[in-house]
Amino acid sequence: MLEIGLYGLGRMGGNMARRLARGGIQVCALNRSFEVTQKLAAEEANITPCLTARDMVASLAAPRIVWLMLPAGAATDAAISELSELLSPGDLLVDGANGFYQEAMRRAGELDNLGLNFADVGVSGGIWGLANGYCLMAGGSEPVIARLKPYLQALAPTPETGWLHAGPAGSGHFTKMVHNGIEYGMMQALAEGFALMRAKQEFELDIAAIAELWRHSSVVRSWLLDLSADFLKNDQKLEGIAPVVADSGEGRWTALESINLGVPTPVMTLALMSRFASQGKGDFANQMLAMMRQGFGGHAVQK
């Protein structure tokens, strides 16, 4: 039986463990909270709960594969540092977080010096991946990805679709970074369009019905539209939802990369700026604008 270590059982990692286990793969699972690991193991026959990283490594037969699904940054750095001392030459470490591609390139070189293999895999699919499969963008050498292939196939919608060897180390996270930048732009366009229709009150438009209509044979049909139609069906006003949209960091990296490469990405960049504005980061600038209008034109300022 194939086996893999999976470290990080959050919304994505937990469901990935379930999908792997249901695909007949033995998963040695590890999470910061052991209670979460135990609960998951009680649900799935092919999941072994591990208390520590050392336990997880000891539970796997060499050469091992350990896949990280931890938050990018400090948590992933700490896990890689710990595992690099526990794993043996020939073992494979996979980073499935939304990490910065240049970090993946650096890690690949550092781990190679220790005799360890590395792959970076961009993972898309959200909370629906368990049922529908994940879209996987893998970066690494040909032998590394060949070794990882059965696991990518188990996670993907089908063994032939939904996964790709994108290129060398770093390319998986780079591709996922651009994917998320495009996602920002698509979400922004849909949100603005529905806001415009809701504002045209004289037509009394049923925006839930329009969303459902556009799902069928329209050129703007998409999974994002499917999700929009679903929540608008239950609540068209969204009055209980705060108008604050977080950004995970991938949109920022995409914008910076476009500047570095000199490639214009106005839609993706403006979508990112709109998220900043929703977080109150444009409030002072708007206060400045109000005071300037008062200064040159005597326009009233709202207190």
Query: Catalytic positions, please?
Result: 176, 183
Show the DSSP H helices in 156-282 as ranges.
171-199, 207-214, 223-234, 250-261, 266-278
Sign of the Cα torsion 149, 154, 159, 165 reads negative
How far apart are the C-alpha atoms of 68 and 72, rounded to whole Å? 10
Which token pair is 52?
Answer: 């520590």
Strand partners, 95: 68, 120
Q: Are 268 and 254 in contact (CB under 8 A)?
A: yes
How far apart are the C-alpha atoms of 65 and 56, rounded to whole Å? 11
* Backbone region of residue 226 per phi and psi (left: phi > 0; alpha: psi in -120 to 50; beta: other values): alpha
What is the DSSP code (8-state) at residue 74?
H
Instruction: Enumerate residues 6+ apart whose C-beta is below 8 A from 156.
Output: 133, 134, 135, 136, 162, 163
First-to-last C-alpha distance (Å) of the chain? 68
